[in-house]
């Protein structure tokens, strides 16, 4: 009887001692969390995409509370409703939320682009660029192994015919921009303006041999643009969004049809 009592007593005593210690320490060393941070966190989408420029939704919430100068409209995935919610919690005016989308600036799918070798290495874009720029003839274009697709938090990229395509799920976070080894993905804010969907800076003849949908730098669009909004920079047409009126003429006359609108 005595043995059982001693055993039960010591375990209970240790348990109670631990409990008391934890109770007291949690009260004494209580860290006061700002209520606004909790409220902000719960109204943010929580996908931790980083589009706002802070490490995750929690990071953005803390930054908002710390620095009142930080804008409440930085959450692109959340859109106007989240911006409104954040502004209400912080007690400030909410600005408009710019809709941003990722654009893959390449049309070189497996039909358009020539193949220069049979690549059987590690199936990631990053690995492929290390070996003569991948199996496609064009070293500027999409490699098609989907590094961007793998990091996309919203399932907005799919690979069709060895070409990355962005669909309507895109939240404009820009994570894909960072992982693309050829840097052919850009985040576009001005969605009304057409975009040159080629990144190849080589001369027209060289491009033509490699891909049927590349910019040949023929300057036809430069000459015919009614607003003179297009210039030729390093063998690639560049559209000035400030001058462009989105008449669509360049997209029509382009010989390789590499000028297109978004989505």
Partner 1 sequence: MSFEGLIVILVSAAVVNNFVLIQFLGICPFLGVSKDIKSSAGMGFAVLFVMVLATIVTWPIQIYLLTPNDLGYLQTIVFVLIIAALVQFMEIVLKKYIPALYLSLGVYLPLMTTNCAIFAVALMNVKENYTLVESIFNSLGAGVGFLLAMVLFSGIRKHTENADPPESFKGAPLTLIAAAILSISFFGFSGVIENLFG
d(CA 79, CA 110): 36
Candidates 13-21, 38-46, 131-139, 168-176 — which segment interacts with partner 1 by CB under 8 A? 13-21
21 binds partner 1 (CB under 8 A): yes
Candidates 22-30, 89-97, 152-160, 199-207 — which segment interacts with partner 1 by CB under 8 A? 22-30
| Best CA proximity match to 246, nearest among 263, 231, 227, 218 | 227
The two tokens of residue 184 are: 């052919």
CB count within 10 Å of CB 245 equals 12
Closer to partner 1 at the Cβ: 26 or 228?
A: 26
Q: ∠132-138-140 over CA atoms, to 5°? A: 90
Residues 91-128: b if buried by 16+ CB within 10 A, e if exposed: eeebeebeebbbbbbbbbbeebbeeeeebeeeebbebb
User: 75: left (phi > 0), else alpha (psi -120 to 50), else beta?
Assistant: beta
Give, as ranges, the residues between 65 and 104 that touch partner 1 (CB under 8 A): none
Closer to partner 1 at the Cβ: 25 or 190?
A: 25
Site string for partner 1, 119-158 (x = CB under 8 A): ---xxx--x-------------------------------
| DSSP run (H or E) holding 84 | helix 79-90
Residue 75 CB, nearest distance to partner 1 (Å)?
22
Candidates 11-19, 44-52, 165-173, 185-193 — which segment interacts with partner 1 by CB under 8 A? 11-19
Residue 235 CB, nearest distance to partner 1 (Å)?
35
Figure out which of the listed residues 1, 4, 5, 31 binds partner 1, where binding follows CB under 8 A: 31
| DSSP run (H or E) holding 175 | helix 175-179
Figure out which of the listed residues 1, 29, 69, 168 binds partner 1, where binding follows CB under 8 A: 29
Figure out which of the listed residues 1, 4, 5, 22 binds partner 1, where binding follows CB under 8 A: 22
The two tokens of residue 263 are: 């989505």
Residues 56-66: b if buried by 16+ CB within 10 A, e if exposed: bbeebbbbbbe
Candidates 27-35, 46-54, 88-96, 217-225 — which segment interacts with partner 1 by CB under 8 A? 27-35
Residues that bind partner 1 (CB under 8 A): 3, 6-7, 10-11, 14-15, 18-19, 21-22, 25-26, 29-31, 122-124, 127
């Amino acid at each position: 009887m005595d043995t059982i009592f001693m055993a039960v007593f010591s375990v209970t005593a240790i348990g109670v001692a631990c409990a008391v210690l934890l109770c007291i320490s949690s009260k004494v060393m209580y860290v006061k969390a700002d209520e606004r941070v909790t409220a902000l966190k719960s109204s943010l989408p929580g996908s931790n995409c980083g589009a706002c420029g802070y490490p995750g939704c929690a990071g953005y919430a803390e930054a908002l509370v710390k620095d009142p100068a930080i804008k409440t409209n930085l959450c692109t995935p959340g859109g106007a409703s989240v911006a409104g919610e954040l502004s209400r919690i912080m007690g400030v005016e909410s600005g408009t939320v710019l809709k941003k989308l990722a654009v893959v600036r390449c049309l070189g799918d497996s039909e358009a682009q020539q193949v220069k070798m049979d690549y059987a290495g590690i199936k990631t874009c990053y690995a492929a660029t290390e070996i003569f720029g991948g199996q496609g003839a064009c070293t500027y274009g999409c490699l098609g192994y989907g590094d961007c697709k793998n990091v996309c938090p919203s399932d907005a990229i799919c690979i069709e015919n060895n070409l990355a395509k962005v669909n309507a799920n895109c939240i404009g976070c820009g994570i894909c921009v960072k992982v693309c080894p050829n840097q052919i993905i850009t985040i576009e804010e001005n969605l009304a303006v057409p975009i040159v969907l080629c990144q190849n800076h080589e001369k027209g003849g060289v491009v033509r041999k490699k891909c049927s949908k590349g910019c040949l730098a023929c300057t036809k669009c430069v000459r015919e643009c009614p607003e003179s909004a297009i210039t030729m920079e390093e063998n690639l047409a560049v559209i000035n969004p400030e001058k462009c009126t989105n008449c669509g003429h360049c997209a029509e006359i382009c010989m390789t049809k590499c000028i297109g609108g978004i989505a």
